[in-house]
Amino acid sequence: MRDSGFPRDPAGLHSDASIGSIPATVLRLYTIAEVSELTRMSEYWLREQCRERRIAHHRLGRSYRLSESDLGQLAAESRVEPRVGSLTPTRHRPRHGA
């Protein structure tokens, strides 16, 4: 059989082989369904964010894919820092009719 010169596993999903100078681990791209399961966000919301270019992603044909670095960027950009002094006790309002 003639060797085409292409790796047998182009996405690097099933081996530790590298493609050129890019390690196979860099090439792991997640589907919207996989990201939805990992993040507990709806597939609709994720597709909409990709369509509107609000989150980093890769476009393969008509499909959206997110790399591990895209997921890290999504997590970093969505992080909300606490307010200064937010650990101080708050006053509770008395209940009506209590």
Whole-prediction pTM: 0.59
Domain count for the chain, please give it. Answer: 1
User: Residue 19: inside a domain, yes or no?
Assistant: no
User: Residue 10: inside a domain, yes or no?
Assistant: no
User: Residue 23: inside a domain, yes or no?
Assistant: no
* DSSP letter string, 32-87: HHHHHHHHT--HHHHHHHHHTT-S--EEETTEEEEEHHHHHHHHHHT--PPPTTTT
Q: What does the pLDDT look like over 30-75, one tens digit per residue?
A: 999 999 999 999 999 999 999 999 999 999 999 999 999 999 999 9
Largest CA distance in the chain: 85
Q: Show the domain range for 49.
A: 29-76
Q: What is the DSSP letter of 98?
A: -
